[in-house]
Amino acid sequence: MPMSDSTYDGGCHCGAVGFRYTTVISPEDWSVRACQCRFCRMHDALSTSDPGGNLQIFAPEPTALRRYRFALKTADFLICTRCGIYIGAVIDATAARFGIINTHALNETPPGIAAVGAISYDNEDASGRINRREECWTPVSAVPW
């Protein structure tokens, strides 16, 4: 059930990179996804997004933020160069920039956060992956690059 905008802050362990995620979706209704690709499994990533929300990425020292691309190379996965924490991902699509957050990187886990759903994107081609992200990921209004 939608509510008023709520803002959630998160970031890496050492504080060098962070994000601010704003959503009207209450935590018990978040779509929390456990991607089954090797990168996400190795980072124990649990991702969420809100197409009607907003995401801002912060890195006061831009060298602390590593943008890593793999597989189809359609998105930048954001990792702190100091402590190694994966905070989320960003895609530059034709219409805008969109992103997801790693819920494990939230400063505080919201009470009642939705159950995790395992998901595989292995059958997507690059075009299908980009289209899905444009529809499902959160619009990004600030990045440090």
So what's the pLDDT on residue 3?
60
In a domain, 1, yes or no: no
Model confidence pTM above 0.75: yes
* Structural domain boundaries, residue 94: 6-142
Tokens 């190795």: give the residue.
42
Average pLDDT across the chain, whole number:
94
CB-based contact 42:113 (threshold 8 Å): no
Mark out the alpha helices in 3-125 (DSSP H runs).
Answer: 38-42
CB 40 within 8 A of CB 6: no
For the stretch 99-132, pLDDT in tens is 999 999 999 999 999 888 888 999 999 999 999 9
Spatial neighbors of 141 by CB under 8 A, at least 6 apart, are 54, 55, 56
Structure tokens at 14: 């050492």
The CATH number covering residue 46 comes to 2.170.150.70
Q: Count the domains in the chain.
A: 1
Tell me whether residue 101 is in a domain.
yes
